[in-house]
Amino acid sequence: MNASPTEPNAPQFDLRQKVFLVLAALQVTAIIVANMIGVKLFSIDLAGIPVEHTAGMLPFPITFLLTDLLNEFYGKKAARMVAWIAFGMAIFAFLLVLVARALPILEGIPGTADERSFENVFGGSMWMTLCSIVAFLLGSLLDIGIFGFFKRITHGKMVWLRATGSTVVSQLFDSFVITILYFQVVQGLLGGEVASIDFVLRTALTGYLLKFAIAVVLTPAIYGGRYFLRKAVKLEPLPA
């Protein structure tokens, strides 16, 4: 039987707490989806510049945008807590995939994966998961620190500077960490073929440039998020 608002033990959440839960849930979803799609590489041509990276990088600018909103309205402790929660849930997802891979497979059923297809996707994504969540955690903590630094020195003004500046620096770190870890360190430890350093550096750099472009494009989104939270939710940013 569902608890009603009149029951004494029913949990009561104010709007501020509900918004926090939604932002945290979006953060967790983005990092887990990034890990799931990270085994797909893509190559696109932007104004004559080839951009090669994993599809898993696409949700990461969103995670940094969410981190900035959490930092702005709930403080760096809350933003760090959500980063650690997302990290923990990604580890939990990693363990579930590990168990699923260990189960004996039943092949030949229409609409289901065979062993090779399942392993190609989830076997590769497991190691991508480990690399990406390490890069995500370190990048998020760096983003939170830089965001707070810019907020203090600008006395809470110039939102674009702390939002874009913190994201630009943290994603540079994130891009190189995940690319080097996955294509160099992990593949070497597994005894597989290690990607050339040229490919690794090119992938990390071009991926960062793409993230940089996405971060710039998303800068108005933090203004939109601030406006929504201030006007619709009646939240005020925390002081610098």
Per-residue pLDDT of 66-114, as tens digits, reads: 888 898 889 889 999 999 999 899 889 889 888 988 899 888 888 888 8
The CA distance from 225 to 220, in Å, is 9
* pLDDT of 2 higher than 60: no
Q: Which pLDDT score is estimated for 10?
A: 63
Q: Which pLDDT score is estimated for 9?
A: 66
* pLDDT of 143 higher than 90: no
160 touches 219 (CB < 8 A): yes
CA proximity to 215, closest of 175, 178, 155, 171? 171
Cα-Cα-Cα-Cα dihedral sign, residues 186, 188, 194, 196: positive
